[in-house]
Amino acid sequence: MEQQLYDRFQTDLQNWCKGEDLDVNHAMLVVGVGEDDTIAKIEEELQTVRCWGRVRVRGKTFDVETNSLVALCECREVLSTLSVPPEVRPLNGSLPWKIVTTNPAHATSEEFSEKLKKFMLAEGKRIEDLQYFCHPPSPQDNTVESLVRIMGEFMSQSRKAPSENHSYRRLRPFSGTTPTPLGEEQLEPWIEQATLLIEESDCSEKEKRRRVMEGLKGPALEIVRALRFTNPETKAEEYLDALNRAFGSAESGEDLYFSFRLVQQKSGEKLSDFVRRLEPLLARVVQKGGLLPKDMDRVRVEQLLRGAVGADLLLLQLRLKERRNSPPTFLDLLSEIRA
C-alpha cells in the first residue's frame, strides 16, 4: 500500500474511533475485504493471528479509492507496533487484507527471523520443515509469495487444531423451564458462564456455537435452533442475546437503573459487602443498555455515597466525594474499603 494512501487510512481510523468511542490503541482497519465476506468470516480469519487477541468487527464501509470494503475492528490486546503484520492472507485464497494501525513500525527482517525461529522451536519444528509441510519443494517455490502462503497454512493448522480439541469446562444445562428443574442453571448465571466461555476461547466461531448449544435443552434449545435455521452464520453472542430476550427480565435498562439508584445499605451490612452487592445489579443495568460501561465507576461511587448508612467517617477517609471526576474501579474501591 502506498504511503499516501496508508496515511489517509490512518486518519480515517482515528476519526472512526472517535465516532465509535473506541481506544485507538485497540483498533485497526482491515482494507481489501470482499463484499461477500460476512462479519463472522472476517472475525474468524483475524482470530488466527494471536498478537491482537480476540477481535470484533465494529463496522464496515466501502472505499472508492481501493474499490473494496474496509472494516473497523476492535482488539482485546494493545496493538504492538512490532508485532502487527502488514497484511493478513485469508485461507480461502482471496487477495490479502491490508492492516492499518495508528503507529505502524513493522519488524525488520532480522526481528522476523528471530521470531520465526522461536515459533518453530515452540512447535517442535525446524525452519527446513517449512519446505515439506504442505508439499515437496520445487524451483517455483523459492519466492516470498510461496513462503507467506506456506507459513500461513502451517500456522493456521498448528494453532487451530489444538484450540478446536482443547479441553474446556462444559456449561451446565439450561432449558428456560420455570421453576428451574433440579440440576439445571438459572438464566443469569448461565449467561455469565456462557459469555466467559465465548470471550476467553480462541476456537473458531463454529466451535463456540457448538459449545453454547450443547448446554441448552428444551425450549431454550428450540429458540437457538430456530435462530440458526434463519441464519446459519449467527454468532454465539447473538444466541445469548436471543435467550436473554426470551427468558430474561422484561425490565428495560432505564427501569433497572432506577431500581439500582434506590438500593440502600442494610442494617449491620459491612460497607464492603454493600459494594459487592451493588456490582451484579450495576452489571445488569449496563447489560440492558441503561448505562454506558465507561460510566460504571462514577455511578458506583455515587450510589455508594447515596446508599451507605452510618459510614460517613469511612467515606470521608476515602475522599470519595472529591474523587467523583476520577473514581476508582470496583476492585480498587473494594480494596480501599477493606484496608
pLDDT band at residue 85 using 50, 70 and 90 as cut-offs: confident
* CATH code reported for the domain at 3-100: 3.30.70
pLDDT band at residue 162 using 50, 70 and 90 as cut-offs: very low
Q: Residues of CATH 3.30.70 domain(s) within the chain? A: 3-100
Is pLDDT of 31 > 90? yes
For residue 262, the model assigns a pLDDT of 92
Helices 218-230 and 236-247 pack at an angle, to 10 degrees, of 130
* Cell, residue 6: 496508508
Q: Which range, of 22-26, 88-92, 139-143, 296-300, averages the lowest pLDDT?
A: 139-143
Greater confidence, 325 or 178? 178
Q: Which of 50, 312, 71 is nearest to 160 (CA)?
A: 50
Q: Rounded distance, CA 212 to CA 234, Å?
A: 12
Backbone torsions φ then ψ of 196, nearest 5 degrees: -65, -40
The CA R_g of the chain, rounded to the nearest whole Å, is 24
Greater confidence, 204 or 137? 204
Is pLDDT of 35 > 80? yes
Is pLDDT of 110 > 70? no
Q: Which of 140, 139, 117 is nearest to 130 (CA)?
A: 117
